[in-house]
Amino acid sequence: MKPIHEQGVAELAQAIAEGQTSSVEAAQHLLERAKQHQHLGAWLAFDEDATLAQAKAADARIAAGERTPLLGVPMAHKDIFVTRDFPTTAGSKMLEGYRSPFDATVVSRLAQAGAVTLGKLNCDEFAMGGSNQNSAYGPARNPWHTDHVPGGSSGGTAVAVAARLLPAATGTDTGGSIRQPASFCGVTGIKPTYGRCSRYGMVAFASSLDQAGPMARSAADCATLLTAMAGPDIDRDSTSLDHPAEDYARLLGQPWQAGASTAQPLKGLRIGLPQEFFGDGVAADVIAPVRAALAELEKLGATLVDVSLPRTELAIPVYYIIAPAEASSNLSRFDGVKFGHRAARYDDLLDMYKKSRSEGFGPEVQRRIMIGTYVLSHGYYDAYYLKAQQIRRLIAQDFQQAFAQCDVIAGPAAPTVAWKIGEKADDPVANYLADIFTLPGSLAGLPGMSVPAGFGAGGLPVGLQLLGNYLKEAELLQVAHAFQQATDWHTQSPEGF
């Protein structure tokens, strides 16, 4: 049997179900491994007693004859999901020491499926960032090169999965925060259609964009997690889709169309290549592995089709108007009154507000609150916020025109490989530009994923982004799984881990 930390979700679930190991043993092994690699900065909180209590309960369910795909499997949650058994900080001093009285819906659904929580994972403060350098508790480090960023905001999640600290974990994606770190760290991650996963108990950044999703080593494992996580929650989340829960693994290993050979399971699949995703702004060491991955998909029977998403370059200004506007509204609740950081000294109520927010929020969060407040202010709402929402609709329409010609859209998940920690610290716009290929799908609310597709300069991972039409997660996972059955990029791990 492979060491516990080298097993994926399906392998570990099977080993536990068959008695080759126990949930308690797996949890203890991974907790010890997490402590050995604290230098990676992936973790923000542990509670060994809480974890082992969950593992013992899972072992009891197994002993009683219960069998589910996640029963007894240890995993962890991005520290943007509130949890009763672990503190929730959202990577911010503002929420340091906060304990939620309830679990987020995503957390509770995975617990019901039998998953065991190892702890909480590092992230950019309030999920604002693409490098995990904005965390108040220090950066997470890319295990492929520890002086490089892992991407963000779900950087801790990507690091933990890539470094074999756990088989899978949750993340959130507002403008690419699952897909970009998955690309930078060489793991698989999927952002479902907006509304698929409940936002109840997810600390809000931008309410019309935030969406939960899983990160794991393979598309098959992501499908298993997403099946447990997703589903309607309309009583508690007004943005939840009232759409029946699905088995997202149902198409794995199936041919794209009836009669396709085993050698070409994707025969009939049309993959759209937006010309805007393959322009001068993409590094050569990213384009080469992406082109090789597309050639592999062609061998599997897919046909490549040229399409256009003409408003791609507008996605960044549109996103950085809409997301900060929603953030300024959502973060107004953190005022030091009922919960969160409160300044030790102040003169009056207004002074308490000012000092508490100035001390509790980091510079990037403050920057976005200021931008958001500005674009929502009298005299600027129509010029900026309303105009951005109108362009957002046009971006969504561009995708629908493209999907009239293809089934799936593909391209790089990010224009470069991971950069060095601190390299872009003084240039927020350079950080924002790294999301150019993930933002359009987020603004349209489409499902998207990043799949390991090779390596670029310095041996750093490159991800292939796949985008599908609304509610087409199962089809995206089907394509990704076929690619992973033919390649081994997703099985490769950083040296020393």
Q: Which of 355, 77, 315, 364 is nearest to 203 (CA)?
A: 77
Looking at residue 424, what is its pLDDT? Answer: 86
Taking only the tens place, the pLDDT of each residue in 53-112 is: 999 999 999 999 999 999 999 999 999 999 999 999 999 999 999 999 999 999 999 999
> Cα separation of 478 and 196, whole Å?
18
List beta partners, residue 454: 462
d(CA 259, CA 257): 6
3-class DSSP state of 238: coil
Cα–Cα distance, 142 to 156 (Å, whole number): 9
Domains of the chain with bracketed CATH: 4-253 (3.90.1300.10)
The helix or strand, by DSSP H or E, that contains position 214, with its residue range, turns out to be strand 211-216
Rg (CA), the chain: 21
- The residue type found at 29 is H
C-beta of residue 183 within 8 angstroms of C-beta of residue 290: no
Q: How many CB atoms lie within 10 A of CB 333?
A: 11
* Residue-level pLDDT at 275: 97
* CA-based nearest residue to 78, from 116, 54, 45, 29: 45
Mean pLDDT, the chain cut into blocks of 10 residues (497 residues total): 95 97 98 97 97 98 96 98 98 96 98 98 97 97 98 97 98 98 98 98 98 98 98 97 96 94 96 96 96 98 98 96 97 91 95 96 96 94 95 98 98 98 86 94 98 97 98 98 98 95
pLDDT at 1: 83
Three-state secondary structure readout of 279-322: CCCCCHHHHHHHHHHHHHHHHCCCEEEEECCCCHHHHHHHHHHH
pLDDT score at 431 = 85
- Which of the residues are catalytic? 78, 153, 177
**C-alpha–C-alpha distance, residues 136 and 162, integer Å:** 22
Q: Which residues pair with 306 in a beta bridge?
A: 273
* DSSP assigned state of 420: B
- Dihedral (CA of 276, 280, 286, 291) sign: positive
Query: What is the pTM (predicted TM-score) of this model?
Result: 0.97
Q: Are 119 and 34 in contact (CB under 8 A)?
A: yes
Name residue 137's amino acid.
Y
The single-letter code of the amino acid at 433 is L
Whether 223 and 10 have beta carbons less than 8 Å apart is answered as no
Backbone angle region of 319, left / alpha / beta, with phi > 0 → left and psi within -120 to 50 → alpha: alpha
**The pLDDT of residue 430:** 83
DSSP assignments along 132-167, one per residue: S-S-TT-----TTSTTB---SSSHHHHHHHHTTS-S
- Express each pLDDT in 347-391 by its tens digit: 999 999 999 999 999 999 999 999 999 999 988 999 999 999 999
Distance in angstroms (rounded) separating the CA atoms of residues 342 and 14: 48
